């Protein structure tokens, strides 16, 4: 559904995208993550035809986004972070205008408006001015207009931004339902949203893709929890940090001060096999008593921070 090859975009001397390549298959729900300024919005605007790339290619359902942009726009629905809604119009009027722009016949427009209104939970507010609706309902209207022309692909930029927890849950459920039928590319800063709705994660940093995997694979086997007695916190931290394969050592669960005789630490690792045995041997050689030694999956937030931190 999406094929991106060596995509680059320059703004003067600044290179926003530096050789981005990835594919998205039909039926996938993909989370597109990155810190501010990483290139997320630039990538999405190129995919949707709002920006031209400096070089490289991008195709939607086989259509080049530059050479065949009208065909691309017929195949996708795009919801930017700030949905372009006419607040003095009613949702029914607005959706009718959008349908006309897409070339839908009047009878088809009426049928599709009824269908997307029911699907997105706005059937009871179709005659209320958009400006009078809550942010949650306005987001639903935005999703409805992206679905109106029955696209194969949805590209959504921060669809739950500014919503309260109940509204976020409602939109997540809606996205899960849509993802059963459509290909969805979702950009968000809310990592729980990705875990709840996406089967795959793309992480971009400084204009380059730095991760591409299911969320569970990114989190797998990255942390080792170590607790014991016979060493102070700082003494144990320094010894464990020196082991090959340990990326970082953090105090866990309010562990004691450097003067205490016990420690509890979380080791961020590179996932190599045998590190637990190395910790055990270190404890034996130092005369520590281990009270806990177990692997723990890293949170997606921890993975994101490690992959996008400024070194």
Composition of the chain by helix, strand, coil, percent to 5: 40, 30, 35
**Tens digit of pLDDT for each residue in 223-269?**
889 999 998 899 999 999 999 988 888 887 644 444 457 899 988 88
User: Residue 311's CB: how many other CB atoms inside 10 A?
Assistant: 2
Superfamily of domain 220-308: MTH889-like domain (3.30.70.1340)
Both tokens of residue 156?
């959504």
Kindly report which listed range (2-6, 176-180, 227-231, 294-298) carries the lowest average pLDDT score. 294-298
Which pLDDT score is estimated for 85? 93
- Over 70: is that where the pLDDT of 28 sits? yes
Q: Tokens 């020196």 map to which residue?
A: 242
pTM of the model: 0.77
Out of 3.60.10.10, 1.10.580.10, 3.40.50.300, 3.40.50.1000, select the CATH number for domain 2-215. Answer: 3.40.50.300
Give all strands of the β-sheet with 246-251 in edge-to-edge order: 246-251, 262-269, 223-229, 289-296
Element (H, E) at 22: strand 14-24
Domain ranges of the chain: 2-215, 220-308
| 86: DSSP letter | -
Structure tokens at 183: 């290909």
């Amino acid at each position: 559904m999406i094929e991106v090859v060596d995509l680059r975009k320059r703004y003067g001397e600044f290179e926003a995208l530096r050789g981005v390549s990835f594919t998205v298959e039909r039926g996938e729900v993909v989370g597109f993550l990155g810190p501010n300024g990483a290139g997320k919005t630039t990538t999405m605007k190129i995919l949707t035809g709002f920006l031209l790339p400096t070089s490289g290619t991008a195709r939607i359902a086989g259509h080049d986004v530059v050479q065949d942009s009208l065909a691309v726009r017929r195949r996708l629905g795009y919801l930017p972070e700030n949905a372009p809604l006419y607040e003095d119009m009613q949702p029914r009027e607005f959706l009718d205008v959008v349908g006309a722009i897409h070339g839908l016949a009047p009878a088809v427009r009426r049928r599709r408006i009824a269908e997307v209104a029911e699907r997105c939970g706005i059937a009871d507010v179709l005659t209320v001015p958009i400006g009078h609706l809550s942010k949650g309902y306005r987001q639903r209207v935005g999703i409805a207009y992206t679905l109106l022309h029955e696209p194969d692909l949805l590209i959504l930029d921060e669809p739950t931004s500014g919503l309260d927890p109940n509204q976020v849950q409602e939109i997540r459920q809606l996205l899960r339902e849509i993802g059963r039928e459509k290909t969805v590319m979702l950009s968000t800063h809310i990592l729980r949203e990705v875990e709840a709705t996406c089967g795959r994660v793309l992480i971009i940093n400084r204009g380059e893709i730095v991760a591409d995997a299911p969320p569970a694979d990114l989190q797998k086997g990255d942390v080792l929890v170590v607790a014991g007695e016979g060493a102070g916190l700082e003494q144990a931290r320094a010894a464990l940090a020196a082991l090959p394969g340990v990326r970082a050592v953090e105090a866990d669960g309010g562990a004691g001060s450097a003067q205490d005789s016990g420690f509890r630490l979380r080791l961020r690792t590179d996932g190599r096999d045998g590190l637990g045995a190395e910790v055990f041997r270190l404890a034996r050689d130092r005369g520590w008593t281990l009270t806990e030694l177990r692997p723990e999956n890293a949170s997606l937030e921890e993975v994101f921070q490690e992959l996008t931190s400024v070194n």
